[in-house]
Amino acid sequence: MNGYWMIVLCLLAAQYLFVLFSRSADSAVTLSPGKGHMFIACNVMIIVTMASAEIWLRRSCRYHKQAVVVCGFIVSYLMYFVLEPYVDGAQMTVMMPIMIALIYFDHRLLYSLGVFSTIFYAVIYFALERPLLGKPFLEFLLVECVYIIFGIMARAVIIRGRETREYLEQLTKSEQELMVERAISDKLLKMDALTGLYNHKSFHEYLDSLLEQCESNRLRLQLALFDIDNFKHINDTYGHWVGDLVLKEVAAKVNSMIGLNDFAARYGGEEFAVIFTDKNVHDAYAVAEHIRAGIAAMAHPYAGGKPITVSIGFCHYQLGDGKEALFRKTDDALYTAKRSGKNTVVVSGVAHGDDPLISYA
């Protein structure tokens, strides 16, 4: 519609300049009483048609395409009646509705408007142009040929446009599939294939980043190392496939009991690691103890029905300690837990049997 408004405004401006500056006899009678009524009526109808279509498009959510097509068809023929007495080749304005099909890339609309415009102009020629203006038949044939050629060219443009659109859609789909595959690949590189937890490499990358946040922004962080008790005995007694099932179930239990801001990884073999963030030491310890009790309560019928437990070493990060000291403290706490009867949580710096919550208070 914006394009049509520009064309209409240009038409009105051209008419104004023509009447204002032309010295021809035609311009002298354009607005004279009794002879200029057709000229004025067509311009008024053009404005009314454009305004009506604009109101419809703004107030209604239906039939937008039909409104544009009908408006364009009416305006183009009114423009033809305005220009025909003064401009050679005014028949080209009748091609304007066909151009709408190019905007919508609509084959059916192109065929409909093309056939209708061709027939409608034939009616105008034999009813008006030939008897009133004496235009030769050859001019009629040339104009009709132009309509047909333009329709063929418009069809080629639509076909090419659709091919380009399909190509872009396929390209976009391929890029999306590639992004999904890349995301899956990145995830597989970060995840442990057996347990579904993050792997050893991803754990260290994440821990390094968090330790930087601890030092710069005083982020609270605790590290817990889990070790499945008597795991070698499970493998030797029931087979490695049972051992794999135990690893999967323990990993699933750990992952289901940590918070959204916590990070769980398979550290290696039967060892797991959990990084607690945005928690005070009491809450983080409580989660570690809750995980230990939850694992001990799990049923393992394929492993003789005996409970499978974990020993946990727990350490709260102190500013300035660094990664090496954090691991040494946590590993020492885990070693103490293994030597102290297993199935327990030992906090670094707290003797076994003491209350870690009291010790940290």
Low-confidence winner among 102-111, 157-166, 249-258 (lowest mean pLDDT)? 102-111
Q: Is residue 188 part of a domain?
A: no
Domain that holds residue 25: 2-169
Nearest-angstrom CA–CA distance, 12 and 39: 11
Q: Lowest-confidence range among 91-95, 193-197, 261-265, 336-340?
A: 91-95
Examine the fold and report which residue of 130, 150, 169 is the final residue of a domain before the chain moves on: 169
Report the pLDDT value the prediction gives residue 160, as an integer from 0 to 100: 85
Paired residues of 173 in beta bridges: none
The count of domains in the chain is: 2
Q: Are residues 276 and 154 in the same domain?
A: no
Instruction: Indicate whether 292 belongs to any domain.
Output: yes
Mean pLDDT, the chain, whole residue set? 81
Same domain, 336 and 234: yes
Residue 190 lies in a domain: no
Average pLDDT of the segment spanning 51-71: 77
The whole-number pLDDT of residue 183 equals 67
Each residue's pLDDT tens digit, 159-197: 888 888 888 888 888 888 887 777 667 767 888 989 989
Tens-place pLDDT, residues 69-92: 777 777 777 777 777 666 666 677
Q: Are residues 205 and 159 in the same domain?
A: no
pLDDT of residue 336: 94
Summarize pLDDT for 266-313 with one digit per residue, the tens.
998 899 999 999 889 999 999 999 999 999 999 888 887 888 999 999
The C-alpha atoms of residue 71 and residue 88 are separated, in whole angstroms, by: 24
- Produce one character per residue of 140-171: b if its CB has 16 or more CB atoms within 10 Å, e if not: beebbeebeebbeebbeebeeeeeeeeeeeee
Give the pLDDT score at 166. Answer: 87
User: Within a 10 A sphere around the Cβ of 297, how many other Cβ atoms?
Assistant: 10
Task: Say what the pLDDT of residue 28 is.
Answer: 46
Chain centroid, CA 86 distance in Å: 54
Q: Is residue 194 situated within a structural domain? A: no
Q: Do 205 and 164 fall into the same domain?
A: no
Rg (CA), the chain: 42
pLDDT-derived band at 153 (thresholds 50, 70, 90) equals confident
Q: Assess whether 165 and 204 both reside in one domain.
A: no
pLDDT mean over 341-346: 93
Whether 182 maps to a domain, the answer reads no
Residue 187 lies in a domain: no
Residue 19: pLDDT band with limits 50, 70, 90? low
Residue 129 covered by a domain = yes
Percentage above 90 pLDDT, the chain:
33
Quick one: 138 and 88 in the same domain? yes
Of 169, 190, 220, the last residue of a domain is 169
> Residues 242-249: contacts with CB within 8 Å, 24+ apart?
242/302, 242/303, 243/270, 244/194, 245/300, 245/302, 245/303, 246/300, 246/303, 246/308, 247/194, 247/195, 248/194, 248/195, 248/196, 249/298, 249/300
| Domain membership flag for residue 217 | yes
| 251: helix, strand or coil | helix
pTM summary value: 0.53
207: domain CATH number?
3.30.70.270
Statement to judge: residues 215 and 102 lie in one domain: no
The torsion angle over the Cα atoms of residues 344, 345, 350 and 351, rounded to 10 degrees, is 10
- Residue 75: other Cβ atoms inside 10 A: 24
The answer to whether residues 103 and 241 belong to one domain is: no
Best-predicted range by mean pLDDT (28-32, 42-46, 55-59, 165-169): 165-169
Burial 176-214 (b: 16+ CB within 10 A, else e): eeeeeeeeeeeeeebbbeebebbbeebbbebbeebbeeb
Same domain assignment for residues 131 and 204: no
CB 75 within 8 A of CB 96: yes
Rounded to whole angstroms, the Cα distance separating 192 from 269 reads 11
